[in-house]
Amino acid sequence: MNPDNIEIVLVHTTHSGNIGGVARAMKNMGLSRLTLVAPLEYPAPEATWRAASALDVLEAARVVDTLDEAIAHCQFVVGTSARDRRIPWPLQDARGCAERIASQSVRERVAILFGREDRGLLNEELQRCNLHCHIPTHEAYPSLNLAMAVQIVTYELRMMALADKVGLPEDADWDTPFSSSEDMARFYEHLEATLVEIGFLNPEAPRQLMPRLNRLFNRVRLDEMELNILRGILTEAQKAARRHPD
């Protein structure tokens, strides 16, 4: 496991106190890379106060406007989620996720996304993920405080770091680097545009087509060469569609 390759990403946090709590939770467990996507109020005295002796983590936090910016350079993205999804996504509990994250972080940049206090991550944000993480709370009161959720996931990572028993992932010795989240986002745009152009996808009635394709390619993870090949195919399909418009 490489802690420097693991980033905690807070998406649209409402209560600034939670941001401080997260910084402390991270440092307690040996992590330091924090990214804030459009926090409602930041910097804020409440964040500073709750961070206690983790002020260095807070001060080094990256603040960005969009999730795209936050995860552009990451090759493995995990989203924490309480809700059941319409389309099932690769899903593991916090312990299983920690093992995957520890393992991927040896060679790649990993982002772990935590959503809004009231609504969590939106569907379109969850679809950016390779893996969903579930913390098995009790059904009588399933909604965890944001900083608590971060504490549990980072604690599991710390247990992994200490156990030092994490094997490399099965694709650790790949011949080509895996695509970044930014490249994948461009690919999905290209894919969707192409499917519309060739008449396969009706933008007025998209159904669940794009989410399902999203899930497919996020699950398998494309390496850079595979991505280039697919994009070449899309470009050719577009050319064909333009040569023979309906």
Nearest-approach distance from CB 98 to a copy of itself, in angstroms: 12
Measured CA to CA, the distance from residue 207 to residue 168 in angstroms comes to 38
Question: How many Cβ atoms are within 10 Å of 35's Cβ, its own excluded?
Answer: 20
* Sequence-ordered list of residues with C-beta below 8 angstroms from that of 227, at least 6 positions apart, any chain: 179, 183, 184, 187
φ, ψ of residue 9 to 5 degrees: the values are -120, 115
Q: How far apart are CB 93 and a copy of itself at their closest, in Å?
A: 8
Q: Which is nearer to a copy of itself, 25 or 131 (CB)?
A: 25
Contact criterion met (CB below 8 Å) for 132 and 90: yes
Nearer to a copy of itself, 30 or 43 (CB): 30
Q: How far is the CB of 162 from a copy of itself (least distance, A)?
A: 6
Q: Which of 119, 64, 186, 180 is nearest to 33 (CA)?
A: 64
CB of 159 to a copy of itself, least distance (A): 7
- 106 or 159: CB nearest a copy of itself: 159
Query: Which residue number, 138 or 207, has a Cβ lying nearer to a copy of itself?
Result: 138
Least Å distance between CB 52 and a copy of itself?
8
What residues line the site for a copy of itself (CB under 8 A)? 21, 24-25, 27-30, 52-54, 95, 135-138, 140-145, 147-148, 151-152, 155, 158-159, 162
Report in angstroms how near the CB of residue 137 gets to a copy of itself at its nearest. Answer: 5
* Phi, psi torsion values for 134, nearest 5 degrees: -115, 130
Q: Which of 223, 227, 7 is nearest to 109 (CA)?
A: 7
CA distance 11 to 113: 7
Phi, psi of 63 (to 5 degrees): -115, 125
Identify which of residues 24 and 33 has a Cβ nearer to a copy of itself in the complex.
24
- Looking at the Cβ atoms of 144 and 209, the one nearer to a copy of itself is 144
Determine the angle formed by the axes of helices 224-243 and 181-197, rounding to 10 degrees. 20
Q: Which is nearer to a copy of itself, 105 or 151 (CB)?
A: 151
Q: Least distance (Å) from a copy of itself to the CB of residue 53?
A: 6
Note whether 48 and 75 are within 8 A (CB). no
